[in-house]
Amino acid sequence: MEVKYSNFIDDIIADDLASGRETHVHTRFPPEPNGYLHIGSAKAIWINFMAAKKHGGLFNLRYDDTNPVKEDDEFVKAIEADLHWLGADPSGGIFYGSDYFDKCYEFAEKLIRDGKAYVCDLSQEEMAVCRGTLTEPGKESPWRNRSAEENLDLFRRMKNGEFPEGSRTLRAKIDMASPNMNMRDPVLYRILYAHHHRQGDKWCIYPMYDFAHPIQDALEGITHSLCSIEFENHRPLYNWVIENVGFEHDPHQWEFARLNMTYTVMSKRYLRKLVEMGYVDGWDDPRMPTLQGLRRRGYTPTAIFDFIERSGVAKANSMSDIRLLEYCICEELNNTALRRVAVIEPLKVTVTNYPEDKTEYFELPNHPLKPELGVRRLPFTRDLWIERGDFMENPIPGFKRLRPGGEVRLMGSYIMRCDEVVHAADGSVSELRCSVDIETGCNKPTDGRKVKGNIHWLSAAHCGEAEVRYYDNIFNKENVATLLEDDNFDEFINPDSLKVYPGAKLEPALADDSSGAAFQFVRMGYFVRDSKNYGVFNRTAPLKSSFKPE
C-alpha cells in the first residue's frame, strides 16, 4: 500500500536517500517498559513505522530497559500487544536494550582507555553544584584526571559490586564549560543494586539512556533515530558517543514535537497516579489516554492514526484538541458501524389497542446508506420501551417528541398517541398508556396529518438488557497538563466523567452479538461491548463531534 503522507521528517529522509547518504531506511520505537503506552506513544510509533513503510525499510521495537527499578514484564507484553493492535508490527525485529549491556560495558572500557571517561566519586548533589548554570561554566571534578589504569580498576570494581549504591559514577570527559549542559561530563554509568526483569542480578551498574541509546541504534543499523523534541539538546551527546565509540555507521537523530492533547495528560507519573488513587479503575479505563483505554472505549487504530496525521508533525510544541480525536472516530464509525436500537433510560409503554398475544415484525436497515448490508427484523408487541427523554409531561417550547395527547412516529412502524400518564407513588412517570394508528404501519396517515417526532422503541418481550456507560473527559480543564501537581488532583477531576445506566434495553440482534464490533445506537451515539464485562456497553462517541475541521 502506498503511503502518501509528508512532513519535515519525511523530507529529511527523502533528501538522505536522494543524496546517497543513506541507501535504505531503518527506524525504531524505543519504549521504556515502565507503564502502558498512550496516544502520545502512538505518535512516535506512527512516525517511525510510517517512515520505514513509505520507503520500503525496516522498523524495530526495542525496549529501553536500562532502568530496572520500574520495569516489568507486564508492560513488555502490553507494549507488544499495543503495536500489534495498531498494525505496526516490527518488521525489523524485537530487541531489548538490556541485551546490549555487555557491548555497552565493552565500549565504556574503550572510552576509559582512550582517556575519554573517568570514574567520579562526587555525590549526585555535589555533581549538580559543580555542573554550573546556563550562564556560568561548571567546575571539573577533582577525580577527572585519574589515570586510565586507575579508572579501569575502579570501573571493574564498580561492576563487581564493591562500592555502595550511588557512591561512584562513570562520566564522559567532554567539556565542563560547554554551553550545552548535557555535554558537561555527563554520567554514563551509575551503581544500582536492583533486580532486572531480564538480566536478573547479573549487573549492579547500569548505563544511562544517553549512552546506551546511540550504541543500540548503531548496533541495530538504525539510519534515522526519530525521537521527541526534549532530546534535541541531547543530540550533540548522541553524536559524541557514536563518534568516540568508533562506529563506522552513524545513525542520525532527528526530533519532533510530542503529542499533547486537551483535557488529559501524557505523563506516565500522573497516569499512574490516576490509577493508584482510584480516580480510574486501571490503566485500561476508557477515560484514560492509554491505547488500552482507547481500545476498550471503542477507538480504532485507523481513527487514532488519522488523528495523529491531522494533528501534524512539527518541531514546535502545540496542543491538539481532544474533540479532533472524537471527530475522527465519528467519521469512521458513521461509515462502518451497523445500526442497532437500544433504549438507555427505558420508560414503559402499553399500547392499549394492540392485541396482547400478537407479535409482528418491522424491517430496519443495518445501515441506511449501505443497502447491500441488508436489514434485520424488529419485533413489535403490546408492551414497549421508549427512551424516557422522549416524553415530557409538561413539554418545553419546541419539544417535538411525545407528550400527553400528542403523537409521534415509532421509528419504522406506527404512529402512536399518548392517551394516559401513569405515575408512581413518588410522582414520577412510571408508564404511558398509548394507542397506535394501525393504518400507519410504515405508511403516512391517510388524513394528511403531519407528525414531526420520530422515536425509537423496543418490544419488552423480546429485548435484552445491559449496563451502558457514558464517558467524558477525566479532567475539567483544557490545559490541565500545565496545572497539575502531585497534591492537587481533586481540584481538576471531572466528577461527571462517568455516567452509568444499569438497565438499558437492547434489540435482539444487539443483545445476542459477541463480535466485539462497534455499533451505532440509533439517535444515541456509537457504542462497543466492554472487553472485560460482557454485560456492559461503553459509549465511544456521540453521533456527531462538536469539532469543526478547517
Q: Dihedrals φ, ψ of 474, to 5°? A: -70, -30
Domains of the chain: 8-256 (3.40.50.620), 261-339+466-541 (1.10.1160.10), 342-455 (2.40.240.10)
Nearest to 112 by CA among 79, 88, 141, 146: 146
What cell does 43 get? 505518535
Query: What is the C-alpha to C-alpha distance for residues 494 and 194, in angstroms, rounded to an integer?
Result: 38
In sign, the C-alpha dihedral spanning 156, 162, 165, 171 is negative
What cell does 443 get? 405508511
List the chain pLDDT tens, one digit each, 550 residues: 445 567 899 999 999 999 999 999 999 999 999 889 999 999 999 999 999 999 999 999 999 999 888 778 899 999 999 999 999 999 999 999 999 999 999 999 999 999 999 999 999 999 999 999 999 999 999 999 999 999 999 999 999 999 999 999 999 999 999 999 999 999 999 999 999 989 999 999 999 999 999 999 999 999 999 999 999 999 999 999 999 999 988 899 999 999 999 999 999 999 999 999 999 999 999 999 999 999 999 999 999 999 999 999 999 888 999 999 999 999 999 999 999 999 999 999 999 999 999 999 999 999 999 999 999 999 999 999 999 999 999 999 999 999 999 999 999 999 999 999 999 999 999 999 999 999 998 788 878 788 999 999 999 999 999 999 999 999 999 999 999 998 899 999 999 999 999 999 999 999 989 999 999 999 999 999 999 999 999 999 999 998 988 7
DSSP secondary structure letters along 17-37: HHHTS-SS-EEEE---SSS--
Full 3-state SS string of 211-269: HHHHHHHHHHCCCEEEEEHHHHHHHHHHHHHHHHHCCCCCCEEEEECCCEECCCCCCHH
Catalytic residue annotation? 32, 258, 268
Nearest to 525 by CA among 283, 216, 298: 298
Q: Order the strands of the 93-96 sheet from edge to edge.
A: 26-29, 58-63, 93-96
Element (DSSP H or E) covering residue 162: none
Q: Express the helix, strand and coil content of the chain in percent, nearest 5 each.
A: 30, 25, 45
3-state secondary structure of 528: strand
CA atoms within 13 A on the CB side of 23: 2
Element (DSSP H or E) covering residue 146: none
3-state secondary structure of 488: coil
Neighbours of 231 (CB within 10 A): 19
Q: Dihedrals φ, ψ of 484, to 5°? A: -70, 140
* Cα-based distances in Å from 387 to 113, 263, 365, 504: 78, 31, 20, 10
Amino acid at site 322: I
Nearest to 379 by CA among 341, 432, 344: 341
Query: What is the C-alpha to C-alpha distance for residues 440 and 352, in angstroms, rounded to an integer?
Result: 16
Query: What is the C-alpha to C-alpha distance for residues 303 and 268, in angstroms, rounded to an integer?
Result: 23
Q: How many helices (H) and strands (E) does the chain have?
A: 14, 27
Query: What is the C-alpha to C-alpha distance for residues 205 and 207, in angstroms, rounded to an integer?
Result: 7
Q: What is the pLDDT of residue 3?
A: 53
Q: What is the pLDDT of residue 129?
A: 95
Query: What is the C-alpha to C-alpha distance for residues 197 and 192, in angstroms, rounded to an integer?
Result: 14
